[in-house]
Copies of this chain bind each other. A is one copy, B any other.
Amino acid sequence: MTMKKILLVFFVGVAQSMVAQVPQDQKSIKEIFDEALKNGKAYPMLKELCTDIGARLSGSPAAAAAVEWSRHMMERNEFDSVWLQPVMVPHWVRGQKEIARVINLKNRGVLELSVCALGNSIGTGPSGVSARVIEVKNFDELKQLGTKAVQGKIVFYNRPMDPTLIHTFEAYGGAVDQRGRGASEAAKLGAVAVIVRSMGINIEDYPHTGSLHYQDNVPKIPAIAVSTKHAEVLSKLIKEEKELQVYIETHCEMLDDAPSFNVVGQLNGGEYKDEIIDIGGHLDSWDLAQGAHDDGAGCVQAIEVLRLFKELGIKPKRTLRAVMFMNEENGLRGGMKYAEIAKAKKENHIAAIESDEGGFTPRGFSMTGSEETHAKLKSWKPLFAPYGLTEFADEGGGADIGPLGPLGTAMIGYSPDSQRYFDYHHTPEDTIDKVSPRELEMGAAAMAALVFLIDKYGLK
């Protein structure tokens, strides 16, 4: 055999093993995309959720309405069963609009800053807090300043998200410690409040909320986010006037835990009905907007995946569940409860797919799983290429499905294009008009196609 022939045999062999069932699967996947793009219901569902219900933070009346809306939607689509999983959730309320103003500008009066309280934070109450502001870029810088410099001050965290990272979630990951841990780290050194630069990449007028976590045995201090635009202004003013003081007034408070629910809809499997595939998004959203991309999109896409199966008459071999998780934003209680029940019932969740990166054009999937499941997933790549999904990352999943990991579930994250996500994330801008119907429906189709393959072939 000449080398040329050896190579030929080699390539043909590889090609054949990969394309065994390809024509049939290509056809099924095209049917899924065609139905989603012609008659998709993800967008009309999302429009209802955003405009009829809107913001739906855990514990709020709107969150309860969203639970009922989801249940009705699943029942209307005649899923085999629909049920609620009770779960107690944190109940944080923002109270009246926050105030933050620079109060000692030389000869320039008062400057109102565009801010909002961070979720889970305590309020200042009506008397507010006034103090000098010191700016830091990270915790190392804060620690070097030490108690002497920080005591009695407001700490201003102003490290921007890195705009040069192409995948914007990496930039978020590199900055969000300021929001999550900033208050407690500053409180350890005696700070009286913190101002955190919003988790946005562009220079914008509006602040981004999001949750913080207070560490045990550390005093809880008020915490606000400031718009990226005013973060830049504040930083400049601090350089000009060392003694710059800011007045902060917030009225938020953490109430007692409140009863709420995950909402689950199921299509029963056939041959392997004990193997469960979850498709999920989170139903709660921040109180400042409609939660269109975060994460109404993921919720309606999960429902749409099951609807597509029903509409196209695809009878799943395995059991499919659309899961609306409650409380991803400020507690993750729903995700933990779902895994707790799965464990107690000894259920076999072979894979869970989460959509919580917005309703944008699909680019691929990420997965945390075994080598075997990775190999399987990657063998399907050519089936997704015609739809523009080419990015299959080796690590990933999602917050809500994370607690299923220890049960051996392959955790899969749906990865849409990430460029616009942080323009809207946790802001009043996260509204239905920012969602492209086609992009949203294509995302649902992409997930349905993946579920179709996992259901047909398993992941092992």
> Interface of A with B (CB < 8 Å)?
3, 6-7, 10, 33-34, 37-38, 163-164, 166, 168, 201-202, 361, 363, 386-388, 390-391, 417, 419-420, 423, 436-439, 442
Contacts and interface: CB of A to CB of B under 8 A. Distances in A.
B437 A166 contact: no
Contacts of A442: 166, 419
B164 A37 contact: yes
A387 B166 contact: yes
B437 A202 contact: yes
Contacts of A386: 166
B419 A34 contact: no
Given A3-B6, A38-B163, A419 B436 contact: yes
Contacts of A10: 3, 7
A440 to B, nearest CB: 10
B361 A388 contact: no
Given A10-B7, A201-B438, A423-B436, A417 B361 contact: yes
Contacts of A168: 438
B166 A419 contact: no
Nearest to A38: B163
A38 B164 contact: yes
Q: Which 3 A-B pairs have the closest CB atoms?
A: A34-B164, A37-B163, A419-B438
Contacts of A166: 33, 386-388, 442
9 contacts: A3-B10, A6-B7, A33-B164, A33-B166, A38-B163, A202-B438, A361-B361, A361-B419, A423-B436
A38 B3 CA distance: 50
Contacts of A202: 437-438
A10 B6 CA distance: 11
Contacts of A3: 6, 10
A192 to B, nearest CB: 34
A408 to B, nearest CB: 32
Nearest to A10: B7
Contacts of A387: 166
Contact of A419 (B201, B419, B439): B439
A200 to B, nearest CB: 11
A302 B106 CA distance: 44
A10 B3 CA distance: 10
A168 to B, nearest CB: 8
Contacts of A423: 436
A187 B391 CA distance: 50
Nearest to A34: B164
B417 A417 contact: yes
Nearest to A39: B163
A37 B417 CA distance: 16
Contacts of A438: 163, 168, 201-202, 419-420
A202 to B, nearest CB: 6
A430 to B, nearest CB: 14
Nearest to A203: B437
Nearest to A390: B390
Contacts of A420: 436, 438-439
A439 B33 CA distance: 25
A119 to B, nearest CB: 26
A46 to B, nearest CB: 14
A262 to B, nearest CB: 31
A150 B112 CA distance: 67
